Amino acid sequence: MPSILEKLANGEISVYNALKQDDPKHKQVSDVADSFEEKLLAILNGEEKAIFKKFVDARMDVECLLITNSFIYGYKLGVVMTAELLTICSFT
């Protein structure tokens, strides 16, 4: 049976899959964003739409980096907390 780290490395599990996209609050916010995007795309011309889509893609890249960095920081923090706990427990 592969370890959780092996599954993570092989893409069998993902932090992103754990996001609750079926959550009503997530759906509500997503619907609002989609509505604004539709309205904006309806009033933009071809070149403006292309610029807007590039902007959206760039913002998505920024968000992905932020999520990845947050995950890594949180993981490292958890490891440090675990190490500290093990250090404290070994002295008692």
Q: What is the pLDDT of residues 16-57, one digit of tens each?
A: 666 666 788 888 998 999 999 999 999 999 999 999 999 999
CA distance 24 to 27: 5
Cα–Cα separations (whole angstroms), residue 53 to 5, 10, 14, 27, 49: 36, 31, 26, 22, 6
pTM for this entry: 0.65
Q: Where are the domains of the chain?
A: 1-43, 46-92
pLDDT at 86: 86
pLDDT at 91: 61
